[in-house]
Amino acid sequence: MYFSFKHNNWEWIEVEQQTDLKAELSHQSHMSSKWLETLEKNKQDVIGNSTAVSGEEALWGRLTYEQSMRSKDENKTFSFFLTKDTLLTSQLNQNLFPEEARKEMEQKLDVSENAVQAFIVLLNAVLHKFLEQIDQFEYRLRELIWGIKDNNNLDLLERIAQSRHELIIWNNLVIPLVETHMTIEETFEDEQLGTIEHERLCIRLKRIRMLISEYSKEVEALTDMETLVSNQRGNEIIKTLTVITTIFTPAAVFGAIWGMNFKSIPEFEWAHGYAFALTVILSSTFGLYFYLKKKGWMGEILKTKSKQSMFK
């Protein structure tokens, strides 16, 4: 055991080792054995509760409070068992929380009336940490939004895809917290939840879900814009290559004809055959060019793009 907080009517016990956890559970509700069994079967986020006996309601589970955006296995989870009088947690490293969140949690634990309110304070600290990290994501997203205008390339598309994946991870982290909040309301009576901290938890959950939703819309808009720009650039490249190929087709045709190795080609004996060949090639090439331009099939491939253009 390396952390313990006792109040008049409740206590919070944090244990580190599995053996310490089992020892503490032996003093708790009969539902604690079911909690331990659930944790042993599930290595990811899981929530369970019991409301069978009035006054002995219990909530248990495991939550992720630290997750690397690069590797699935680089994460931190903590297990918890909660009754109105006892909060038992395991493998919770409070040093991973921002200092401001830790100080805020310590102050609010002193005024918590029961273990349920203390657990709500803990969840608020987790959300405080998540919100700070999402603020950092917001900065990177703003840079990405302007980057699509200044430097549209494959690296930018990779960053957009990474941002989209990061938002999916954030949503995946928040969903268990939402479920836990709903299960708290299902398990315990309203007077046990408190007022201010419970309302703050509700607002923070709405806030973080709103941010994830809005940032997802922005990233989706960036994806659509990147697709639009890429398609336009691809169309311009194909159009340019097509026009160049078409314009120089007469030169290629006449060059192929006069490049044959037949013995009898009358033009080779003409005094002005070379001038005639150049005249035919140039006139047919320019004639085809002006025809395409008159039809409007040249598009804007000969126009110089502005440095501020997103389609350059």
At 115-173, the pLDDT tens digits run 999 999 999 999 999 999 999 999 888 888 887 766 666 677 788 889 999 999 999 99
Q: What is the DSSP letter of 310?
A: T
Hey, where are the domains in the chain? 3-228, 248-312
What does the DSSP 8-state code read for residue 306?
P
More confident site: 149 or 72: 72
Q: CA 164 from chain center: how many Å?
A: 4
Residue 50 CB partners (closer than 8 Å, separation 6+): 31, 34, 56, 57, 58, 187
Per-residue tokens: 271: 């005094």
Average pLDDT over residues 283-303: 74
In a 13 Å sphere around the CA of 143, the CA atoms on its Cβ side amount to 9
What are 21's two structure tokens?
């956890």
Q: What integer pLDDT is reported at residue 130 of this predicted model?
A: 92
pTM over 0.75: no
| 180-200 residue pLDDT tens | 999 999 998 888 787 788 999
CA distances from 136 to 131, 141, 166 (A): 9, 9, 12
Tokens of 225: 């814009």
Task: Give the long-range contacts of residues 105-109, CB within 8 A, separation 24 or more.
Answer: 108/197, 109/5, 109/7, 109/12
Output the pLDDT for position 1.
Answer: 44
Judged against a pLDDT cut of 90, whether residue 99 lies above it is answered with no
